[in-house]
Structure 1
Amino acid sequence: MDSLPPFNRAALLLDMDGTLVDLAPTPDAVSVAPGLRATLAALRQALSGALAIVTGRPIETVDRLFDDAPGAVAGEHGGAIRHAAGDPIERVDLPSPPSHWLAEADALERSHPGALLERKARGFALHYRAAPDARDALRGALDRLLATGSGFELHPAHMLWEVRPLGADKGSAVAALMQRSPFAGRLPIFIGDDVTDEDGMREARKHGGAGYRVDAVFRDPDGVRSWLRRSADLGDWAPLS
């Protein structure tokens, strides 16, 4: 297991869905546990501002759920970054999917009852949590769709397939955050729960920090929240086990 960098030299980078908040039947149904905003705000202060949420969701969604508790946010898998609370959102120059792809995604949602299309700024996701039998059919249809164009790739996550542009991943988000104050010169700790977070973990380790999967270390988001709360109370990292 990676060792934790000293608290006064660390930066904390956290995935959202499945890490900070429990997974929900639909993207709009997630909720923030009582006290979590206060815990993040306390950790942000203790880390001299070096705390960020790194997510595939839009920054606006993070703001709605967390207000300014995290300070820095990287949304859309690094396609949009705000380096500190109150800063402007910087957007990477990435393509949007062709309109006929979105029309096809709409048709796939309609043809598989329970499937849910989530539109994003430069991509989209098809959720099949309520239609598990549609998993392979959706994957096949999206593979065929992507074969008709370029500049995009298909990514699996928790009960969904996501189409997003090449060049947008959580590793690039971590790299961008670590270039600027208050993250520059610190050692990043990245915590995430699925394959989309592994790029962020690898990048954190490249910077001399650590990367942890929720299921391997904390069991579930409640375990993550408990560890964060204990760390905030201590003003130092609580034991991981």
Structure 2
Amino acid sequence: MPFPPTDLLTNASLFIDFDGTLVDLIDQPDDVIADEALRDLLARLIARKVGSVAVVSGRSIAQLDAMLGPIARSIAVSGSHGAEYRWNDITAHPIRPDSLDRVEDAFRVFAATAPGVLVESKSFGAALHYRRAPDAAVAARKIAASLGVRFGLAVQHGHMMVELRVPGSDKGVATRRLMAQAPMIGTRPIFIGDDLTDEPGFIAATELGGCGILVGPPRATAARYGLSDSTAVRAWLATA
């Protein structure tokens, strides 16, 4: 895929995924650390007034706050695949359904029988990670699909994981919501992400006059440009 030109950053609002985009994917999601260099990069983007900066992630806002530190309060943050967001001290989120507790319990029972499978508890979702147990992929997807139908939850597939989450939102919804507010109105949305969960964000950004940038190996995607990995993402953003 073509490398994104730096003039994309002119009058742009940036929507940036977290895992696999700003930081590398690792086997243990809870061990991810937003290093000082990343926090400094986000601070420079804000200071240079490259439109506005939003981190749009499948992680919860609470998780992003813990990893990013104080800089998270200076940018727009949308967590849980668009189900929750915070900007300028205005926070909105749905009510967490009790069914997610039952899903998480069922996931833990399954993980106990599949060594290497990890359960991630989220504010508005629950995920099974099978990066360390690829042979469990089919069974993990099957139990998620069954529980999703049973409890009326959305099934979200990602890099070596499957998640059940509150329905009605995605990263495209998050992008459209934020682009409808000042100071993003009138800017060009640029969505940067690596996963299938980022495709709705690519589509929304394109329909709103911007584009998507896929991180990682080329694949079928709505993104227009590509960057190889999180290091390339940071280097490109540093040109702003």
Identity %: 37
What secondary structure is seen at the aligned counterpart in 2 of 1:147?
A: helix
- Please say if residues 4 and 210 of structure 1, whose CA atoms lie closer than 8 Å, have aligned partners that are also in contact: no
Scaled by the length of structure 1, the TM-score of the pair is 0.87
**Change in CA separation of 1:6 and 1:105 when aligned onto 2, cut-off 3 Å:** closer
Q: Deviations over 1:13-72 (max 9, x none)?
A: 100000000111111111224422111111122226600100011112212222243511
Paired residue for 1:72? 76
Paired residue for 1:238? none
Paired residue for 2:93? 91
Paired residue for 1:45? 47
Alpha-carbon shift at residue 179 of structure 1 (Å): 1.4
Unaligned runs of 5+ in 2: 219-225
Paired residue for 2:180? 179
Alpha-carbon shift at residue 125 of structure 1 (Å): 0.3
Paired residue for 1:234? none
- Please say if residues 122 and 165 of structure 1, whose CA atoms lie closer than 8 Å, have aligned partners that are also in contact: yes
Q: What is the distance in 2 between the residues matched to 1:75 and 1:96? A: 19
1:30-179 correspondence to structure 2 within 5 Å: 30-47=32-49, 50-69=52-71, 71-84=75-88, 87-92=89-94, 95-150=97-152, 152-179=153-180
**Change in CA separation of 1:102 and 1:66 when aligned onto 2, cut-off 3 Å:** closer
Unaligned runs of 5+ in 1: 232-241
Paired residue for 1:236? none
**Change in CA separation of 1:111 and 1:6 when aligned onto 2, cut-off 3 Å:** closer
Paired residue for 1:13? 15
Alpha-carbon shift at residue 175 of structure 1 (Å): 0.9
**Letter paired with 2:87:** H
- Which stretch of the first structure deviates more once superposed, 6-15 or 178-187? 6-15
- Please say if residues 3 and 210 of structure 1, whose CA atoms lie closer than 8 Å, have aligned partners that are also in contact: no
Alpha-carbon shift at residue 186 of structure 1 (Å): 1.0
Paired residue for 2:221? none
Q: What is the distance in 2 between the residues matched to 1:34 and 1:102? A: 33
Q: Deviations over 1:103-142 (max 9, x none)?
A: 2112111111111111112220000111111111111122
